[in-house]
Amino acid sequence: MRDIIEEILEDPTFLEGIAWKMRSFDANEMVIRSGEVGKNIFLILEGIFRVTVHVKLDRRKSMRPGICDLTQGDIFGETCLLERGRSNASVITTTGGSALEIDTESLILYLDANPVLGYVFFKKLFVIMAERLQKSNQRIESLLAWGFKAHQIEKHF
């Protein structure tokens, strides 16, 4: 994906400061807050960025566990690419780092005007999202297995 994004950034019509910008982050900096409307996607250049979710344990207790770490070459924020919606997770830096922040409206207009590159972009994005879905399914299976064992549910099968 990084190669496609770099090709887009090299196009003089995709203007730095309007369509994209370079961002630097300190350790423990909030990049995306769960529930906010997403307007940008990010390509990590360096550092570790942790995706976290809010888990409500009961009426008074909750926690914010990390569900995955993203590093150089990874993208995030892509779920708001075609339709602006509220983010379902937060992203926090665990180290200092940097990322390209790309305005989704500018990117869609560019990809519409360059359909061959747009096709390649979305094809690669589809592969990334399919891999993430597969990893999520594996995590759910592991959590179910752990829960069944912890509560001795397997003896009822």
Tens of pLDDT, residue by residue over 117-128, are: 999 999 999 999
Q: Which domain holds residue 67?
A: 2-152
Residue 157 lies in a domain: no
- The per-residue pLDDT for range 96-115, each reduced to its tens digit, is 999 999 999 999 999 999 99
Total structural domains within the chain: 1
* CATH, residue 56: 2.60.120.10
Cβ atoms < 10 Å from Cβ of 141: 10
**Angle in degrees, CA 129, 133, 137, rounded to 5:** 170
Residue 125 lies in a domain: yes
Alpha carbons 79 and 85: distance in angstroms, whole number: 8
**Can you give the pTM of this predicted structure?**
0.84
Residue 100 lies in a domain: yes
Residue 140 lies in a domain: yes
